[in-house]
A and B are shown apart, each in its own frame.
Chain A
Amino acid sequence: MKSILQSKEMSIVAIVVLLSITLSFVSPAFLTFENIFDILKGNAVLGILAVGMTLVIITGGIDVSVAAVTTAVCVMAGKFLTVLPDSPISILLLFIVAPLIGVLLGALNGILVSKIQIPAIVVTLGTMSMINGIILYLTNGTYLNSTSFPKIFVDFANFQIFGVSVIVFIFAIIAVGTWYILKYTVIGREVLAVGGNKESSIRAGINFDKVQIFVYGYMGLLAGIAAIAQLSYTKAVDPNGLLGFELQVIAAVVLGGANILGGRGSIMGTFLGVLLLGIMQNGLILARIDIFWQKVVVGTIILIAVSYDQIQYKRSKDKLAKIEVEA
């Protein structure tokens, strides 16, 4: 397992390191403890979602409804928070309710993909458009801000451990936890097996439908948790705040070396992909480059990464010479 991913992940590490060195020359503010953790905090929502998306993409699927689901959970959980008392129980309740809503929405995608056999992109486009419409209808696009939340939540959102925001810890727990699931549980191995070779996995008795429902449900769960992170980060509910965010999530996963056709992908790679996007954004700001150029850079990097990957793949396939030709 390690050897193939290592090479791929190493190249992302190299890019991240190179970029960091360049940036620390451009701005001394870059390589500070505060700045690094700010980057992580700022990209925690992206990171949590990308971790979930990694699983979906490993199975060869895709979920473009993640941003909509996250926003839906934000809106509902936000509403829910406003009626909660100012007590620690509220935080606990939030951590029960938000993931639960996410799982339900995600499982809906999973069932449509696995049982009705609708292509994932179409299903999630459909649910995305429905969820976005419902959010817009219910909220009318209005913003909720921190004054409506119980004080305990604001405290929670500002909470730091050793000077590191609780949001970063949530991200870390999700990343490590998902890594553990992928590596050490039956279902995690089944996700990789299904992505590696569907036919073989059926022959090995793996329930393909179950694996699909799991990955979309898990994606939903993480969207629920990402919603908590988003609420904590912005201390507000913005029904339009994450519009189009799903593409950034997919971009991070793809940059992290996952293959859209399934089988390849790792949490470490995705983490690096998120980091790369985050550092780039941060760097452009530090270098005082017009924020608008950021997307040009990201788009170009995505195109180069996927093209390079494809060319490498073709080459390795050509090398597997089919015939021992006699000299």
Chain B
Amino acid sequence: MKALSKESILGLIALGLIVVMSVLAPGFLSSQNITNMMFQIPEFGLIALGMMVVIVTGGINLSITYTAALAGVAIALMQSNGYPMLLSILVGIVVGLVCGYINGFIVSKIGVSSILVTLGTMVLFEGIVLSLTKGNSISGFSESYSLIGNGYYMGLVPLSIIIFILFAILTGVLLTKSKWGRSVYMVGSNPIATLFSGVNNSKILMGVYMYSALLASIAAIIMTSRYNMAKVDLGSSYLLQSVAAAVLGGTAIEGGYGKVMGTVYAVVIFQVLSSGLNLLEVPRSIVGVITGAILIFVLIINFAKAKFDEKKQKKMQEANAA
């Protein structure tokens, strides 16, 4: 029998969790709750995927949520000043991409470690958003804009989840099937050997930070549309959660491994937990505790499993040698 992959196990855990919650939490399977979850998953999921792509290269993107905030504020400012929706969205995405370019440039061309760069840009982007908004929230979106985050496709499936699914598929295809995606894994595994294989590492890294920013901008569109406003802390709670989701999803924090499906399952697990516990009237704050606990627990299990495998391998070799 073939062993299940890390991701499939995670998928089973997600499924099991859904079953448990359906039994325990009253109203978990109600259409209202399911719709709620479907509205909440996209924004978190997009940011988590954006974080994952960076982590696969061995980096981290601490400015991802402020990139989203800046893109969201740009869209809000454009629309509240009467510019058409599509143009505003386009400008928002471009603003996000510029943020990604700044990160990418300093990481890939100058060679500063990503944690320092994105720490700096995080403060910078936050400052720019604050200066633009004076700390206030900005609204004044058109009605059609609010459909993106609140509307349904065929009156049943939220539009936002369709956008998320499309981007998840796109990310998966790019990572596994494109030259760029393959190089992303290679750079994350061993940047020197990758460079010595004729790959332009800095181009790959630039792409990674730009793509991360793109996903953040899409998340920003969904969030601003859903909340009907943009302000500085737009999605800021997702920063650490997205790292947690990527790591829980099996992404190696030192780089070289990580799959879209793993991260998606992790996002679903977090969402099911958060909704289920909410229905069980567990306070919101405790959900944060559980998130942190799961993250550390999974890593301890990984550590124990690695130790166990090592021992098993040694024993096998000793047996072979004897």
Contacts and interface: CB of A to CB of B under 8 A. Distances in A.
Interface of A: 62, 112, 116-119, 121-123, 125-137, 247, 250-251, 254, 260-261, 290, 292-300, 302-303, 306-307, 309-311, 314
Contact of B283 (A125, A137, A292): A137
B148 to A, nearest CB: 28
A70 B244 CA distance: 22
Contacts of B87: none
Given A122-B295, A247-B119, A307-B110, A137 B289 contact: yes
A interface, over-half SS: helix
Interface string B283-300: 111111111110110011
A125 B62 CA distance: 12
Interface stretch (B20-28, B127-135, B192-200): B127-135
Contact of A295 (B117, B126, B287, B300): B126
Nearest to B293: A130
B289 A125 contact: no
Contact of B106 (A126, A133, A297, A307): A307
Contact of B289 (A129, A251, A296, A309): A129
B interface, over-half SS: helix
Given A133-B292, A260-B113, A292-B130, A125 B124 contact: no
Given A126-B296, A247-B123, A293-B131, 19 more contacts: A118-B296, A118-B299, A121-B60, A121-B243, A122-B243, A125-B292, A125-B295, A129-B291, A133-B285, A133-B288, A136-B285, A251-B119, A260-B115, A290-B131, A292-B130, A292-B134, A293-B127, A302-B124, A306-B106
A297 B123 CA distance: 9
Nearest to B113: A260
Interface of B: 60, 62, 106, 110-113, 115-117, 119-128, 130-131, 134-135, 240-241, 243-244, 247, 253-254, 283-293, 295-296, 299-300, 303
Contacts, number: 146
Given A122-B253, A133-B287, A303-B117, A294 B127 contact: yes
B292 A127 contact: yes
Nearest to A244: B236
A116 B117 CA distance: 28
Contacts of A132: 285, 288
A303 B124 contact: yes
Nearest to B130: A292
Contacts of B122: 247, 299
A209 to B, nearest CB: 14
A119 B292 contact: no
A259 B244 CA distance: 25
Given A133-B288, A295-B123, A126 B60 contact: no
